[in-house]
Structure 1
Amino acid sequence: MAGAVHLWNGWGVQILVLVSFMLQVFLLMFATMRRRNISTVARTLLWLAYLLADYIAVFILGHMSFYGKSHGHQQLLAFWAPFLLVHLGGQDNITAYSIEDSQLWPRHLLSFGAQTMGVAYVLYKYVAGSWTLLVAAVLIFVSGVLKYGERVWALKSSSLDNMSKFVDSRKSEAKRELHAQWGQGQKLDHEEVLQGAHYLLPICMAQLVDYKFWPSTFQSKAIELFDNKSQMFDLVEMQLSLMHDFLYTKASVVFTWYGCFIRAISSVATITAFFLFQSSIGKNDFNRVDAIVTYMLIAGAVLLEMTAALKAMGSTWTCALLHARRWHRLHNIVVSVRRCVKAAERNRRWSGSIGQPELLNSSHGSGDCVSAQGLAMGCKDLWKKLRHSLPVISDDTKKSVLEEVCRMVGAWNADSVSLCTRASLS
């Protein structure tokens, strides 16, 4: 026990800083799985990583404000502080774990202000002597402020209250006749279906928030096209995936001109800081372990930035943006690369399974044996939840559901026409 306490007192900050970085790597790699039905274990791990990423970063920043060791250690400790601000900015593929997180964006805004002032205080208190390290720390600080502010902005923009504003912004695009070449007669591939899902997304989003959005002539024809090709269910799967991106990721902010500007500034600042730190190694007497931790942090930050930039450039949202701006040559290049790696098929398709409530317990015991059998049944129910066996929805079920929806829509249209006819006659 004494050894563990001694280890924590000597290397606690280093351990937590690396844990904070590893949580960001974990979220970048696995947060996208939430688009599909995943097991309870996977959801729990993502939930813990999402919460711990914030808690650990805030704890370390508070600890740094009252931390004191050798002069060299203090300089590197101050250099670590802006990286925690970058970590608080989170990854592009997860900003909110639930809808309520977006509604609490003012709380994140307050935390953004408090943590930014905390990092600025640590830099003011400890960084001195080496101008190269100071400039590198300021660059990472700027990157952290931009990314954390972007996260708060994304939370505010992706709330249900602001969804109607997003739909309004797409009205001008809805009136354009884009003349997409979706083929004649043959079945569309996944990238073509995804392109249609993007173009028809405002209709889906408007229905979710009960907002009146009338399809353009081109959108109405596109809906008929997908219905005739029997790919309407595929279109809905893609749209639900895009809705997930809007509600739970930075998609509403990243794929804008200001989002691209933030990406460019953050990437340049991080790479420049890496070379500045490398040049300051020979001019300062840093602890070897602290220098290794710093190298891992800054090299990892560069790797995360480059990975996020590549993911953004190859994203379906980028394809939709290029198509809307009529940059068709660049759009075709990105789509061709996505087809080669089967991005739409692997990342955007529904898993085909759905959760269900357990209405009937499979085992029934007498009321007299409460303690032992209750504990056994509780463990059995927990094992079922962790195993998360989901029923698979067949193609016949999908077809039946779609036919019923079409019948309801047709009945509603018939009632609307009848009411309008009676009103005109009266």
Structure 2
Amino acid sequence: MADKGIHRDRDGGLTLNNHLIARQPVAQARKKLNFNFKSINKGVDIPFLLLILVLLGFGVLMMFSASYAWGINDMGDGYFYAKKQLTFAGLGLVGMLVVSVLDYHFFQNTVVCYIFFGVMYAMCLYAAFFGSSTADASRWINLGFVQFQPSELLKVAFIIIFAYIMAVNFPKFNNWKYCVIPFTVIMGITVIVLGLQRHLSAVLIIGVIGVSMMFVSGMPAKTFWKFIGVLAAVAVLALAVVLMAGKFSYIQERIDGWRNPEADIQNNTWQTYNSLVAIGSGGWFGLGFGESRQKFLYLPEAQNDFVFAIICEELGFVGALVVVVLFVIFVLRGFYIAANAKDRFGMLVAAGITIQIGLQAFLNIMVASNSFPNTGISLPFFSYGGTALIIQLAEMGILLSISRQGNIKK
């Protein structure tokens, strides 16, 4: 039986999947949409599906508690954010169900993946120059009924096009022109448009996703580590130039606030300081559901980026630990789906989505606890936001689609 997990191929490459994937042909793309509704009750990864539903239900409940006071203050209705989030969750669940019965090989198509990436890139470029701005960050497009954040879909398009190029070029990975240049170009232009939006948290996420997918793709180890060395040097140089140019002075402010959250609690560190107060107030078992004090207009974005702090305050260390454990299980199960995927493309897409969700959760928790500078990263399934929640659930549909065709033990 072929072994599973991260291992080295015969050429020294690193891959997450088993040896069978390395020997499978690449040409498995579908030229048209292929839905299989007969499989709706067959082949689904039940543990992963239940985990998604638990995260979503828990997330909506805690978002409601965290948003109640802000709903009254902003809209005169404490249930305002909860009702909208439930609507988004319902739409997202329908999308997840539809995508889960879609053959994921539909995306393994040159036209589909390049058009998807190109459209999302163009929308992000439009948002950077003509979109709606908040706190000097231009990331949204006002569609009238909703503020659409195209960078959320750009992450998905990035994962898909990366997986496609890696799957197609894998037989030629011994030539660095095929295993480095395409990924460098795609990652580079993606980072540039996100930088124009002043969306540095997304830049960080895209960088980690890209490097991680390259690591598990089967790229020769020597080539990979040489690329990492060059990438690290370029990143350090770019950051130094940006800081010296003063174009992103808020980066230095956030670093200073991270180092000393009590330095300017009336201004720059107000959010971080009150997040720490909320976490510290929770103790072992919390103040009780709905009993948070910091959510009463002390902690900005309590329903969004800092919902984890409210969880800690109301449910204590135990509740926070439950959230962390749920995301750890999510990552483990996601990698299990990736390791048992039908082919290399499915493995890379599953790994990319798992890394994205796991990384966002990890960074959000670190920001809330001041273990990392404030970057504006939301907590998947918990933070308020229609675009993000619907897209995250659609991504879960892709993972379920991959699991249906994989070698998952039922």
Instruction: Give TM-score, length-normalised by structure 1.
Output: 0.26
Relative to its length, the structure with more helix (as a share) is 1
